[in-house]
Amino acid sequence: MLGLSPEHLLVLLVAALFILGPERLPCALTTVRKTAQKAKDALANAHQQITDEIGPEFEQLRKPLGELNQLRSLDPRTAVTRLLLDTPATTQPMTAPPRTGDGPRVDMEAT
């Protein structure tokens, strides 16, 4: 619920009890609950209205937007590889291969 843990909710409830007092707290909680329910109903109504007005085009828009959302969660290298090669994304991030010591040698005394 809003990303709050039960401990955070308990702290908020205790703070509200001290701020509002035991007489006004039940009324305030009822008001908050009714407001949250009205907001939830308004969002559901707006979603239904958009779906009814746009119709099948809404479903056609949904798929590309879902793919775009998947691309946002990828790292740039994987996203470019997936777009260019049209291969499924790997679940493991790409890492550099371990160094074997076969690379060029630098003479530190010569510098």
pLDDT attached to residue 4: 78
State the residue range of the domain holding 72: 56-86
Distance CA 15, CA 25 (A): 11
In a domain, 94, yes or no: no
**pTM here?**
0.45
In a domain, 31, yes or no: yes
In this structure, the answer to whether residues 16 and 50 fall within a common structural domain is: yes
pLDDT digits (tens, 9 = 90+) for 15-67: 988 898 889 988 988 998 999 999 999 999 998 888 888 777 777 777 788 88
In a domain, 67, yes or no: yes
Is 67:60 a contact under the CB 8 Å cutoff? no
Is 61:77 a contact under the CB 8 Å cutoff? no
Number of structural domains the chain divides into: 2
In this structure, the answer to whether residues 49 and 13 fall within a common structural domain is: yes
Confidence of residue 91 (pLDDT cuts 50, 70, 90): low
Alpha-carbon dihedral angle through residues 12, 17, 23, 25, given to the nearest 10 degrees: 0
Confidence of residue 68 (pLDDT cuts 50, 70, 90): confident
In a domain, 62, yes or no: yes
